[in-house]
Amino acid sequence: MVKTNIENLRIGLVSISDRASAGIYQDQGLPALQDWFGQALTSPWEMVTRLIPDERAAIEQALIALVDEEQCHLVITTGGTGPSRRDVTPEATLAVATKEMPGFGEQMRQISLQFVPTAILSRQVAVIRETAEHAALILNLPGQPKSIKETLEGLKDADGKQQVAGIFAAVPYCIDLIGGPYIETDDAVCKVFRPKNALRAKNPA
């Protein structure tokens, strides 16, 4: 198993947009991700952010730097996952990957299909990138704040009962398996799942 000597969870957040990176309009992806993680995580974490255009080379460079140099355990992109010619985030993500994790993309589309039939046009992927000393999970998310929240925490009914699982429920155990820090969350926002033999006693608030 790949080990890391960084105790805090390091999250790389990458917003991919030609217009936002050029200052034409205010980026929404990074603030939405920062807000969600601020509410969801109860264990120590820190973040590194990037705002870049829809250029495959720039995306690949950002992902490599966040994993190999910044030593992020989790890297999340927003934007650039549709079928248009400028949408190249999945290609860039796959190009830097060691392993593909197709279940994440499948579940993201399942969540979005609860709202719109055009969810099948989304090409979001998830991968692991490994070096000799470090590994990270890279996830492509949608660009809209509402969709980001739904994708991460899933769908709940009026009583708060989970109807469709969000993808973040599986992220902490994935990070465990690739040698990252133990992630804890606020169950009211997102209850994570681990096998019984992987559970630790919760840290006191």
pLDDT for 105-160, tens place per residue?
999 999 999 999 999 999 999 999 999 999 999 999 998 899 999 999 998 888 87
Give SS3 for 107: helix
The model carries a pTM of: 0.92
For residues 168 and 152, is the Cβ–Cβ distance under 8 A? yes
Whole-number Å distance between alpha carbons of 43 and 142: 25
Q: Domain 9-198 belongs to what architecture?
A: 3-Layer(aba) Sandwich (3.40)
Whole-number Å distance between alpha carbons of 38 and 46: 10
What residue ranges do the domains of the chain occupy? 9-198
Whole-number Å distance between alpha carbons of 126 and 103: 8
pLDDT for 112-127, tens place per residue?
999 999 999 999 999 9
